[in-house]
Amino acid sequence: GAVVSQHPSRVICKSGTSVKIECRSLDFQATTMFWYRQFPKQSLMLMATSNEGSKATYEQGVEKDKFLINHASLTLSTLTVTSAHPEDSSFYICSAPGLAGALGGEQYFGPGTRLTVT
Amino acid sequence: AQSVSQHNHHVILSEAASLELGCNYSYGGTVNLFWYVQYPGQHLQLLLKYFSGDPLVKGIKGFEAEFIKSKFSFNLRKPSVQWSDTAEYFCAVANTGNQFYFGTGTSLTVIP
């Protein structure tokens, strides 16, 4: 089946620095990808929709200047957490639709990136 | 806005017991419904999905779910659980924009 990868799997950074997380669709193209964060023992919260060739759209309450999203190609989306603070520590997960053009269809999820801000 | 609620936060069962996890959603438009499972230390995996047609859908590993439109529900069931079913289970709703909204999750512990 379709595979989505994320890099890095774990990252520890100091408060005030920026961290970039990559999400790649390995064997298919994705014009749209999605970014989620998951707090311990909680569900995934949709943060934003990453669109290839255009600006990302953010869910209500998500700071677009803090969580910069760039969909550089049909197989790569990046999430940059700028000026990270301890409260940004979380598990960040990306996903991509499995079928090109299939609306509301299955998503393939990456393995997630554990961000710890000290 | 869409919302998804899962009634059971933590369920503990003995092996061979039957399982039913509740899921209700609120959304006025067309949605597709999913159940995902997250085993410890692993990423989300699709258990089953409902797009249209027969409201009783069968998924992997013996799981099934029933879509009841009048109740806005999509409950997950398994007749006989195994120890290996210990995991976190998430109900999700997808709108036509491919945006997924997840429930809060249910942690299932199966005791051998």
| Span A31-61, pLDDT tens digits | 899 999 988 777 889 999 999 988 999 999 9
Report chain A's terminal Cα–Cα distance, integer Å: 37
Q: Which of A34, A49, A109 has the CB atom closest to B43's CB atom?
A: A109
- Three-state SS for A38? strand
Cβ pair A21, A81 in contact under 8 A: yes
Q: Which residues of A touch B109 (CB under 8 A)?
A: none
Q: Which of A81, A78, A98 is nearest to A90 (CA)?
A: A81
Q: Which of A42, A49, A93 is nearest residue B99 as measured by Cβ atoms?
A: A49
- Does A86 sit behind a cis peptide bond, omega within 30 degrees of 0 on the bond before it? no
Four-point Cα dihedral B23, B90, A43, B100, nearest 10: -90
Residues of chain A contacting residue B103, judged by C-beta atoms under 8 Å apart: 43
pLDDT tens digits along B22-60: 999 987 777 889 999 999 878 888 899 998 899 999 999
- Specify whether the backbone of A54 is left (phi greater than 0), alpha (psi in -120 to 50) or beta: beta
Question: Which stretches of chain B sit within 8 Å of chain A by CB?
Answer: 30-32, 34, 36, 42-44, 46, 49, 51, 90, 94-105, 107
- Residue A104 and residue B96: Cβ atoms within 8 Å? yes
The neighbour count for residue A91, using CB atoms within 10 Å, is 16
A85: tokens are: 């603070």
